[in-house]
Structure 1
Amino acid sequence: MQMKPSNRSSSARQWFSFSSRFWIVFASWIICLFFLLFQGGKTSFMLLSMMTMICLYLWIGKWSGISKSKGIRKLRYAGENRAIFYAGDTIEAELSVKVQMIGMAPYVLLRDQLVRRHGETLTFESLVIPDWNRNCVMHYKLTNLKRGFYSFGTSECAMEDVFGWFQHKGAIQVASQFCVLPQTIRIPRWRMFDVRNQGYGRHAMIHRSSKETTQINGVREYIYGDRISRIHWNATAKTGEWKSKEFERESLPSMVLVLDRTQRHYATEEQFELAVSIAASLLEFSRERQIPVGFISLGKSVDIFEPGSSTLHHKQIKDHLMDTDADGYAELSGRLQPFQSKLGTGSFYVVISPGTSDSVLRLLQWLQHKQMTVSQMLMTSPLTGSPEGWSTFCLSKGIVVYPVQRLQELPVVLGGWSNGQVAVGDSSKS
């Protein structure tokens, strides 16, 4: 049989749970009362009256209505309200709170909490003077945020009396979320996909899938030089103008990005962030060119996104890039062999890795044996030395290597800009 605490004991604990400041104020009022009872006179009466008014003011503050406050939060970049940002952006945050308080307060303490998905927490607080409408606005900036998903926790507002003796708090639920995408840069042109460049790499890639089929797709205007077999005689007879047959063409081969997440391959955290930014930039390039793109992430686990071009498909890859880390330890060479059925043939594989080891070379050559066109985005740094030897060796094997030390160099090495010319703007802001 369990003994339940009596109401008398629970009320006693509640009575003694008041703060020491409460007991000081209460004792001061009792002293003033005894002073009036034993001394009498106008002075003691005025002293007790003043102390009583102060106690009433402090007691009313407990029901100040601060807990009923309501708020709204706005996130801006360059004066524009947004919910999607890029790494490196400076985000202007504004928390507006309508304080439902009784009486006056010299200031209100606002506290906001930003939580990253993996548990990292940032706290912002400021003392704000309410205006005549009892609105409190706190401005602060979010800088150097890492890529990922962010959400705001419970906001708090607190007020003190004019003496600074007691503080009253209230919780405000202002739910808002936003995401920080990897930094990207626009790639105007890639020689491998440029129709004006008929180099070896492009010819080997396009030859597999750019041939015309025998399926007639429609009718087009006659172009001087068309063969007689291409003339559409029925359409020519009906319109009285020369018409030619339009045949369907097989689509360009899909591009598959392979992100190396092996921890020991990256000298610094910034080098891995560069790899993620390169992957995100190539993803945007494929979206602009309407090239089906797949994605393979080789880390602690193997995540495979089969080639596609839908908006949902691109969003899924972006979501993965926002949360991924360099957490892999296994060798690269054998990671894809269990997934051969998902790789297909004739695709253009881009391996994004700073590695120059035998394991990386075996992966590149294994993809070649599967009839893939292979290239490597090589993240370099002053600590790793010159990549010329590795680039020359891979080129002799038919593998093109693009060395990149900074994200701004990516359009240059891919052939989108003349040597030494940098794209306007460090990253794409969309």
Structure 2
Amino acid sequence: MRQPAAGRRPPNPTRRRLWLMAVLYVSSLMYMLFQGGRTPVMLFCIFNGLILYLILGYWSGIRRISGTRKAAAGGPGATSGLPGVAGSDNRLLAAGETLQVQLQLRLPGIYPVPYVLVMERLERNGGTAIPFEVSFVPNVKRAGIAEYETPPLRRGVYRFLPTVCITKDIFGFIEHTGSFHEEGSFSVRPRTITLYGWDRIRRGAKGHFSHASAPRSSRETTQINGIREFMPGDRLSRIHWGATAKTGQWKSKEFEREALPRTIVLLDAYRSADAGAAERFETAVSAAASLFEHGMRRGTSMGLWCSSAIPTALKARSGGDQLHRAMELLTEVDNNGSDKLAQAILRADPILDQGSMALLVTDAPLEEIRQTMNWLSRRNLNPVCIRVLAANHPLTASSQHEFIAAGAIYTIRSLEELPAALEGREVAADAGS
């Protein structure tokens, strides 16, 4: 019975070449034995020399190839490396940027190698892998450099898989393969955009719980935020003995203060089957990252919650490490949530403090947004929504800025529209107040 095409193994070209060589060798041997003379002997000697050359290719050194990798952000004049990749500094990639990779390879041994084909794979979020192929010709020291540039990368965590190197003899009969693993990983963070004119995060949304707070009147937490000079009246428990011993001067602990009002960024990660859902989610992630970064820059205590399959939550607080943790979470998050917005928001209740501002970023229908914002308002929060629409969705002035009893709704189609939408909406809100 003939085997189905789907289950048949693909033909092996190396095996066919070996069979061809075996047939030619036996033919030349029989030709020499039965014909005799100089020509058959010379032909047989040539075949033996070729076979010896092909056999020695097994010890060409390709199986023990080694190398190092250097990576830098792509683009004109970009020379900064990436953390987690050998030979790099502390620069991070943003979504849409490219990566320039340089491999420095070395072959042991003395066997001549005409060229080396290098095959690399870059894996994203433990799933899909991007393949790259590049070749180089070893120099007299049996070393070489292979370079390539990635396409614009999406947001996520990337790691390099083992590098496979392939070479052939000068006739192309036999293929020899080797590999090495130079570990390296890096993150491509979501795109952000600067929000210059929107101060509503800093001073809080207008409403029943709107208030301004001076830093000195806010309560201190138990989280140490740094070290300051000793001030008369500081308690003994406040003295930082380690810093005092190192500097020879009295030092006191500086505790983090509660920034009022607090702000929570709520990101909707419901898995939708609609066309363009992935693009809308990427825009939503970038908008959430921009809002979080803007709030941290203004000294606001920021929190984060996401309705993904594994719920992501950060309690609202200030400090430089809070922004770093939030960006890491937004880098890895995916739109794999199973509950729609109105049901998923119920799981965010533990981190929603009364009087806080809730920044809702979603592409949900308008009715779900109203229902969710009404629930947040009943929880004594000040909700504001960033609604993300498809890039080709028609947008009018009335649909871009909408007032409802619970709060304001901003509508955008791309990250670039966010600053204009927020600034224009704030002017309208302040004029009507």
TM-score by length of 2: 0.75
The answer to whether residue 119 in structure 2 is matched with residue 91 in structure 1 is: no
Once the two structures are TM-superposed, the CA of residue 389 in structure 1 deviates from its matched residue by 5.0
The answer to whether residue 393 in structure 2 is matched with residue 383 in structure 1 is: yes
- Which consecutive unaligned segments of at least 5 residues does structure 2 have? 1-13, 84-91, 221-227, 232-255, 428-433
Residues 265, 354 of structure 1: 8 Å contact kept: no
Correspondences of 1:1-16 after superposition (within 5 Å): none
What's the RMSD between the two structures over aligned residues?
3.4
Residue 149 (structure 1) aligns with: 157
The answer to whether residue 54 in structure 2 is matched with residue 58 in structure 1 is: yes
Residues 187, 285 of structure 1: 8 Å contact kept: yes
Taking the aligned partners of 1:194 and 1:321, their CA distance within structure 2 comes to 22
Residue 25 (structure 2) aligns with: 29
User: Structure 1 residue aligned with 2:416, among 375, 386, 408?
Assistant: 408
CA distance 1:49–1:405, change in 2 (3 Å)? same
Taking the aligned partners of 1:173 and 1:63, their CA distance within structure 2 comes to 20
Residue 14 (structure 1) aligns with: none
Structure (1 or 2) with the larger CA radius of gyration: 1
Residue 7 (structure 1) aligns with: none
Taking the aligned partners of 2:370 and 2:396, their CA distance within structure 1 comes to 17
Residues 193, 202 of structure 1: 8 Å contact kept: no
User: Structure 2 residue aligned with 1:298, among 307, 317, 322?
Assistant: 307
The answer to whether residue 120 in structure 2 is matched with residue 116 in structure 1 is: no
Correspondences of 1:12-411 after superposition (within 5 Å): 19-77=15-73, 78-83=78-83, 84-193=92-201, 201=205, 207=211, 209-210=213-214, 213=217, 251-264=259-272, 268=276, 269-300=278-309, 302-337=311-346, 339-381=348-390, 382-383=392-393, 385-386=395-396, 388=398, 391-394=401-404, 397=405, 399-411=407-419
The letter of the residue matching 1:388 is S
Q: Deviations over 1:117-156 (max 9, x none)?
A: 2411121112322222222322222113221111111111
- Which consecutive unaligned segments of at least 5 residues does structure 1 have? 1-17, 221-247, 420-430
Q: Give the secondary-structure state (helix, strand or coil) at the position aligned to 1:81.
A: coil
Residues 259, 318 of structure 2: 8 Å contact kept: no
Taking the aligned partners of 1:293 and 1:363, their CA distance within structure 2 comes to 20
Structure 1 ranges of 4+ moved more than 6 A? 214-220, 416-419
Residues 261, 357 of structure 2: 8 Å contact kept: yes
Taking the aligned partners of 1:150 and 1:373, their CA distance within structure 2 comes to 37
CA distance 1:90–1:270, change in 2 (3 Å)? same
Residue 10 (structure 2) aligns with: none
Residues 263, 300 of structure 2: 8 Å contact kept: yes
The letter of the residue matching 2:383 is V
Once the two structures are TM-superposed, the CA of residue 311 in structure 1 deviates from its matched residue by 4.4
The letter of the residue matching 2:205 is G
The letter of the residue matching 1:41 is G
Q: Deviations over 1:148-169 (max 9, x none)?
A: 1111111111111111111111
Once the two structures are TM-superposed, the CA of residue 202 in structure 1 deviates from its matched residue by 5.3
The letter of the residue matching 2:131 is T
Residues 218, 259 of structure 2: 8 Å contact kept: no
Taking the aligned partners of 1:116 and 1:178, their CA distance within structure 2 comes to 10
Taking the aligned partners of 2:213 and 2:273, their CA distance within structure 1 comes to 34
Q: Give the secondary-structure state (helix, strand or coil) at the position aligned to 2:296.
A: helix
CA distance 1:298–1:266, change in 2 (3 Å)? farther
Q: Deviations over 1:160-189 (max 9, x none)?
A: 111111111111112111111111112234
Taking the aligned partners of 2:219 and 2:186, their CA distance within structure 1 comes to 47
User: Mean Cα displacement is larger for which, 331-340 or 85-94?
Assistant: 331-340
Q: Give the secondary-structure state (helix, strand or coil) at the position aligned to 1:257.
A: strand
Taking the aligned partners of 1:215 and 1:52, their CA distance within structure 2 comes to 88
CA distance 1:207–1:30, change in 2 (3 Å)? same
Residues 412, 418 of structure 1: 8 Å contact kept: no
Once the two structures are TM-superposed, the CA of residue 346 in structure 1 deviates from its matched residue by 1.5
Q: Give the secondary-structure state (helix, strand or coil) at the position aligned to 2:344.
A: coil
Once the two structures are TM-superposed, the CA of residue 297 in structure 1 deviates from its matched residue by 1.1
Taking the aligned partners of 1:259 and 1:130, their CA distance within structure 2 comes to 51
